[in-house]
Structure formats: C-alpha cells, structure tokens
Amino acid sequence: MISKITFAFLKAVKENNNLEWMNKNRDLYHMERDNFFDFAKKLIEATQKIDKTIGKLSVKDCTFRFNKDIRFTKDKSPYKTNF
C-alpha cells in the first residue's frame, strides 16, 4: 500500500521543486521511492497471475524517472510531482 507519507512527500516536492530542497530531503525521497517501487512490484506480480501475456516486467519498465528533461519545456522545475 502506498503510504500517506508518500503522498505528503510528493505534495512537498510540488511546493518546493528545487535542487536545494531535494538535497536536504534526499533520504526521504529514497524511502518513498522504495515504498512506491515495492507497491508497483506487488501490483505487477498480482496482475501477472491474472494476465499471463504480461510476461516478465520489472518496476523500471513501468515507472518514469523522477528528474524531468527541462531542455524543451517552459516549466524549468527539475522534478516530477509523481512517481
């Protein structure tokens, strides 16, 4: 299950989307990212039991990078506000 802390962290990222804040909260980011990855892994495993055509998916196959590519966008905030 995704914890309430994960959602609170993502809300804080939205409000403080800068490198300085992220560096101060890097440990929290890693904890919440791992929490989300555990949830995604369990979801993939449960779905594979129902749908055999899914095959061998990993969490990395199903998730996005947290850092944004800001080269071609007007919004220069460096981090996504979702996992």
Average pLDDT across the chain, whole number: 93
Summarize pLDDT for 39-71 with one digit per residue, the tens.
999 999 999 999 988 888 899 998 888 998 889
| pLDDT for 56 | 86
Radius of gyration (Cα) for the chain, nearest Å? 15
Ranges assigned E (strand) in the chain? none
28 pLDDT above the threshold of 90: yes
Helix (H), strand (E), coil (C) string for 13-25: HHHCCCHHHHHHC
